[in-house]
Amino acid sequence: MEHIRMPKVNVLHSLVCNVVKHKASQSGYPLLIHCKNFQVIQFIFPQESDCHDVYISLSRLSRPEKYEELYCFSFNPNVGKAEREHSWDFLDLKAEYSRMGLPNKLWHVSPINREYRVCDTYPADLFVPKSVTLPVIVGSSKFRSRGRFPTLSYYCKENHATICRSSQPLSGFSARCLEDEQMLQAIMKSNPESRFMYVVDTRPKLNAMANRAAGKGYENEDNYCNIKFQFIGIENIHVMRNSQQKLIEVSALRSPSMGEFLTGLENSDWLRHIKSIMEAGLFISKAVAEEGVSVLVHCSDGWDRTAQVCSVASVLLDPYYRTLKGLMVLFEKDWVSFGHRFSHRCGHLIGEAKEVSPVIDQFLECIWQLMEQFPCAFEYNEKFLISIHNHIYSCHYGNFICNSQKERKDLYWRRLYNRFDRELHPRQSELDSLMTVKEETQQLEEELALYEQVICQIFA
């Protein structure tokens, strides 16, 4: 009998989207595994009991209840200490802002969010105009959804134009905030060559108007001097999730005709959504590069459509983001540090089905579309994009877990505390750790001596 050697396929549990048992066939009991990276794997089991056992195991293991169950917490790469330590400092956002020409006489790092007290979904270090005072920042944050006040994402040192980002204002039908108005004026004046700025709302106008009834909405041009408002019309996460599901169903058709496939693709509206995101990025990049005008971008909470649009605009504007290192820095800056909700959108933990949406998939497709049109403008190819996509969903590494920088830091310290007796983390100083242990040991010895004295007095 001839043995057929099948290629080895490694699939981490976090990559499993769902597991489906099918009716028994002549060859056995089939088990179908749908993966988040769009792989579909089928197993045929000779025994129904084996098929059921694997089904139960995969269903449980692919739906972790807490972060500590993710693979990145058990992954132990076979690399040396120096390489481990280097990996923590590989992406340095301070160096990235320095590359842009920051800080300078117009922009500086504000210390206001160092403890995440103003906005717990923003990074600790934020660039704001030098002319802005701390009370203005605090007032603006209170007027913005989730406290996500306007702050810098990209700076064009050639003409001082900027891309800033925030969440929607809590304006309702008539509310206003002087501090928020002052914040936008400061951003506009930090671009000396321009007399106005754009405010880009990435939502459909009807959606933004509906939010006004809930006390949110968008900026009133009568209250904000020298701004030009622009709606883009990118749909929300629920529409995008349904669109991708339709696309997956079309792709799963067996031997469809070209007409059937194209009809299904059109009905999914997937490419229409991609077009909307790219048009928004193009509008912003032209405003910055050709008009020399600063732009404030927001959606509802400022961590989905805002991240997509700012990132696409940055790739169009700056060739650095078309390099391998540059794209990684862009992810770290506009997605990881600015609080894209990776765990919710990618469904890393159980119980987040309504929050799952292909936000990151759409951004990667936008990059791929640009690569198809301008292949010589990019240092990387589609294999790099596929690799990033796999790592985001597989939780192989810890870069793309949690929903904010603060959550990742809290998880890091909690995890560190729970395993301090087994090993040191690469970021821990051995000397500091030893000194801490020494001090704690001395305190325990003093307490023990005190208890011994008390016991002696009791039995004396």
Q: Is the peptide bond before 150 cis (omega within 30 degrees of 0)?
A: no
CA atoms within 13 A on the CB side of 378: 19
Nearest partner of 142 among 115, 103, 176, judged by Cα: 176
For residue 303, say whether it is annotated as part of any ligand binding site.
Answer: yes
CA angle 350, 355, 360 (to 5 degrees): 105
Q: Residues 307, 359: contact at Cβ < 8 Å?
A: yes
Q: In the annotation, is 395 catalytic? A: no
Beta-strand runs (E) in 95-167? 107-110, 126-129, 151-155, 162-166
Residue where the block lists tokens 């990132």 = 311
CA angle 283, 233, 169 (to 5 degrees): 90
Look at phi and psi of residue 147 and say left if phi exceeds 0, alpha if psi is from -120 to 50, else beta. Answer: left
For residue 301, say whether it is annotated as part of any ligand binding site.
Answer: yes
For residue 190, say whether it is annotated as part of any ligand binding site.
Answer: no
Q: Residues 162, 148: contact at Cβ < 8 Å?
A: no
Q: Residues 13, 63: contact at Cβ < 8 Å?
A: no
Q: Residues 184, 165: contact at Cβ < 8 Å?
A: no
Contacts of 294 (CB under 8 A, 6+ apart): 161, 162, 163, 164, 187, 188, 190, 191, 194, 197, 198, 288
- Cβ count within 10 A of residue 99: 14
For residue 300, say whether it is annotated as part of any ligand binding site.
Answer: yes
Instruction: Write the CA distances from 150 to 79, 142, 185, integer angstroms.
Output: 41, 12, 11
Q: Residues 141, 174: contact at Cβ < 8 Å?
A: no
For residue 302, say whether it is annotated as part of any ligand binding site.
Answer: yes
Nearest partner of 179 among 238, 112, 233, judged by Cα: 112
Q: Which of 35, 51, 119, 299 is catalytic?
A: 299
For residue 299, say whether it is annotated as part of any ligand binding site.
Answer: yes
What spatial distance separates the first Cα and last Cα of the chain, rounded to whole Å?
Answer: 87
For residue 304, say whether it is annotated as part of any ligand binding site.
Answer: yes
263 CA to centre of own chain: 32
- Annotated binding residues for substrate, written as ranges, equal 236-237, 299-305
- Annotated binding residues, written as ranges, equal 236-237, 299-305
Residues belonging to the active site: 299
